Amino acid sequence: MKFNGYPVAIIIVCLGIGVLLLSLFNIEVAIEPYSPVPSPIPDTPATPQPPSPPPALTPTPGGLRVSNQTDSPVRVALLHQAGEGNVYSKPAHWDFAPGEGRTQGLILSLPDRDLRLRPGDIVVAFAQDGSRQYWGPFVVGETAQPVLDSETQEWRLMLTR
């Protein structure tokens, strides 16, 4: 009996392509433990409450607001200083669709801490459509952009063609 390895090879190649596609779309699978929380049953019938207004977005002093006024998808990357002497933390990046945040811009945030730019932080942006467009590098407090808004104390970066 002769072993034919083609079916096994095809399955391995398909799994590899699947993992590659998942990584390209930044899809992560996380399983969290389930812990049911009992909810108390009210003794009286609940009276309907008027909907509360959405929370106002207050500017974060030192935060970064980005406006993509181009027709290209754009990635904005940040090298944030971690301490004294040109030591930078792990780079962070955000992706913008064409025209996303065009008028008012979008406030950027980090998953584990507040984003507050400091002079010397480095921001760069580049188009992701193969056009080879790029903006920067911008050094916060030293180059023309980002600009500090005197009213909100936010840094604003406007990407235009």
- Give me the domain span that covers residue 91: 64-159
Position 62 confidence tier, pLDDT thresholds 50, 70, 90 = confident
The predicted model scores a pTM of 0.61
Q: Give CA 126 to chain center in angstroms.
A: 14
- What pLDDT sits at residue 56? 47
pLDDT top residue among 123 and 60: 123
Note whether residue 46 is domain-resident.
Answer: no
Q: Is 41 part of a structural domain of the chain?
A: no
pLDDT of residue 110: 86
Residue 111 placed within a domain: yes
pLDDT of res. 68: 94
Q: Give the per-residue pLDDT at 13.
A: 79
In a domain, 117, yes or no: yes
SS3 category, 20: helix
Q: For residues 98 and 120, give the distance between their C-alpha atoms in angstroms, rounded to a whole number.
A: 28
Within the chain, strands assigned E span: 64-68, 74-79, 92-96, 106-107, 122-127, 134-139, 147-148, 155-159
* pLDDT score, position 49: 62
- Domain membership of residue 59 (yes or no) is no
- 106 in a structural domain: yes
pLDDT per residue as tens digits for the range 3-55: 576 777 788 877 777 767 666 666 555 555 655 555 565 555 555 666 655 44
Between 138 and 40, the higher pLDDT residue: 138
The two tokens of residue 21 are: 């596609």
Taking the mean position of all CA atoms in its chain, how far away is CA 139?
20
